[in-house]
Amino acid sequence: MIPGKSITAVIRYNERKVAKGFAMLLEADKFGCDAADLTYSQKLLRFRLLTRQNKKVKTNAVHISLNFTPEDLLGRERLHSIVRSYMQGIGFGDQPYLVYEHLDSAHPHVHIVTTNVQEGGKRIDLHMIGREKSEPTRKAIEKEFGLIPAESRKPEQEYQIKPINLEKVRYGQVETKAAISAVVRDVLRSYRFTSLEDFRGILTQYGVYVEGGRPGSRLSDKRGIIYCLLDDDGRRIGVPIKASDFYFKPTLNNIEKKFAPAAIARQAYAERLKITIDRIMAPMSRPLTDEAFTTALAEKGIYVHYQKDDGADIARLTYIDNKTRVVYAGDELGAAYSLSGIRTRMIPPPQQDIQKAADNSEFVKSVLAGTDFSKTLPQILTYWAAQGMMISVDEKGKYGPAYFLSRRGARWSHRVAADPSVSRWLNVNQVTAAQCELFRERLDKVLPPKPAYSEKRDIDIIAYRINQLIKELIVIIAQIVEEIFKLTPGRSYIPYQLLQTSRKKRTIKKRGHRPR
């Protein structure tokens, strides 16, 4: 539990993780709506309504991290119950709070954002809350939900997945049965998988193969399985060993007992796996062959196992995350991660995509050319929105906020960097990323859905319909602009032309010339 003085900073930290795909908002308790429907501003406002009731409380932000081990069986509902029990136990059960699940570590963990200022302005005392409330509550929850106690882990192993330490067995170099036994025992103890094929995929990367026999064979009829070694080319070598010959009995019946618990335990890592694959398959850097795809994932600690059919064609792929030790078949993650989905995503971007980026650039130029910069900021932003042009801001630009312009509904990669003079004008008028995001959200509620840029004919039809509707909605747009980009007391809008004139005067003075 980390007390703080800025609820804004705590929310921003978690929201940035969400924006990068490293976290997801699970729950928004006492916010009056579903978590998915909340905007950034609404989240912040809910807490500010409380903190403003007692401005004497300077330490009014509470940031809590609940950590679990990969062995804890955490379903989504179970996780919600654990969080509620914890917040009730530490005396925050009546407070609004946000729950973010972070996906950037090997161990499951959630971050909770709340405030210690109650309705009416009363403060929840944070002094000694860790020792007197958090620790007893944590121990009670571990017992109630059957979680692994924190005390049972060694400090250096806490919340970490050890890198696999299995020597890849080689036929003739180490005693076969002992080598296979070491690999199989460690895999069964560490990995979460839900089928024999998944188990086979894990073992394959360590030079071990498991087989259940072909349908109709004596081995298959008796539900027996055998283990053997693989050479560097993936061919089976040596004398197979029956599962019943190993002292720990890795038989089919015993392996299948692990499937149901594993199906629950691996859920926390599915999103992390999808995010990693999505980043590798990003349009500008995507691998274009199976080999490149496999190599790229291997660098992230994910082994891709290709299952072949009787005709030796690849029929299915399985992802084995050696960092989190979970296994998912591609189609279990979704159609986009199946064999056919991945190969579809490997297709290079079509030439039309390049043309759409060029069209967006021309669109921005035409809107700027028709802009009357002698008008006020709200008037200009209203004109831009009426034309269908939106602003986005990267507040981490090299030289300050970086402003981008694009057609409403255009892809993020098609944005056009604003001209330096336009960027400077927007910056001095304090146009922020939060304002632009809120403006976009408000427009989405009153304007038609974003157009799908599939064919030029569709674009023309949709553009015509939007233009017709925008004429009727200009008054609404102007009201939204005035509300979001309104001035704070003591400030006035800085005209674009005044900024340009001031810049010219500074340039003349710097060169040592006087205007005539």
SS3 276: helix
Range of the domain at 332: 268-346
Same domain, 6 and 149: yes
Q: What is the pLDDT of residue 358?
A: 72
Q: What is the pLDDT of residue 165?
A: 39
Q: Please, which residues have CB within 8 angstroms of residue 510's CB and are 6 or more apart in sequence?
A: none
Same domain, 410 and 490: yes
Element (H, E) at 436: helix 433-446
Q: What is the pLDDT of residue 114?
A: 95
Q: Dihedral of CA 213/218/222/226: which sign?
A: negative
The last residue of a domain, from among 302, 326, 346: 346
Q: What is the pLDDT of residue 158?
A: 43
Q: What is the pLDDT of residue 459?
A: 46
Q: What is the pLDDT of residue 354?
A: 57
SS3 442: helix
Same domain, 371 and 230: no
Same domain, 180 and 71: no
Same domain, 66 and 185: no
Is 337 contained in some domain?
yes
Is 515 contained in some domain?
no
Number of folded domains that form the chain: 4
Same domain, 259 and 175: yes
Same domain, 356 and 482: yes
Same domain, 10 and 85: yes
Same domain, 260 and 276: no
Q: What is the pLDDT of residue 304?
A: 92
Same domain, 332 and 359: no
Q: What is the pLDDT of residue 198?
A: 92
Is 159 contained in some domain?
no
Q: Phi and psi at residue 328, in whole multiples of 5°?
A: -135, 135
The beta-strand segments (E) located in 281-366 are 302-308, 314-321, 326-329
Q: What is the pLDDT of residue 510?
A: 54
The last residue of a domain, from among 328, 346, 364: 346
Is 512 contained in some domain?
no
Is 38 contained in some domain?
yes
The last residue of a domain, from among 292, 315, 346: 346
Q: What is the pLDDT of residue 452?
A: 43
Q: Return the bridge partners of 83, or none.
A: none
Task: Report which of 75, 69, 79 is spatially closest to residue 111, judged by C-alpha positions.
Answer: 79
Q: What is the pLDDT of residue 359?
A: 75
Q: What is the pLDDT of residue 411?
A: 76
Same domain, 120 and 208: no
**Which domain CATH number covers 102?**
3.30.930.30
Is 287 contained in some domain?
yes
Is 229 contained in some domain?
yes
pTM of the model: 0.51
Report d(CA 137, CA 74) in Å as an integer: 18
Same domain, 117 and 199: no
Q: What is the pLDDT of residue 156?
A: 40
pLDDT tens-digit profile, the chain (516 residues): 788 888 999 999 999 888 776 788 989 999 988 888 888 889 999 999 999 999 899 999 999 999 887 667 677 788 889 999 999 999 999 999 999 988 777 677 899 999 999 999 999 998 888 889 999 999 999 898 888 887 775 444 443 333 333 455 555 555 778 888 888 988 998 898 999 999 999 998 888 899 987 777 888 888 899 999 888 777 888 888 999 999 999 999 999 999 998 888 888 788 888 888 888 887 656 667 888 889 989 888 899 988 876 655 667 889 999 888 899 999 999 988 998 888 888 876 554 455 566 777 888 888 888 888 888 888 888 888 888 888 988 887 767 788 999 888 777 777 888 888 888 888 888 888 888 888 888 877 766 554 444 434 444 444 555 555 555 566 677 778 878 877 666 666 677 766 666 555 555 555 555 544
Is 369 contained in some domain?
yes
Q: Phi and psi at residue 62, in whole multiples of 5°?
A: -125, 125
Kindly compute the dihedral angle of the four CA atoms of residues 241, 191, 277, 210, in this order, to the nearest 10 degrees: 10
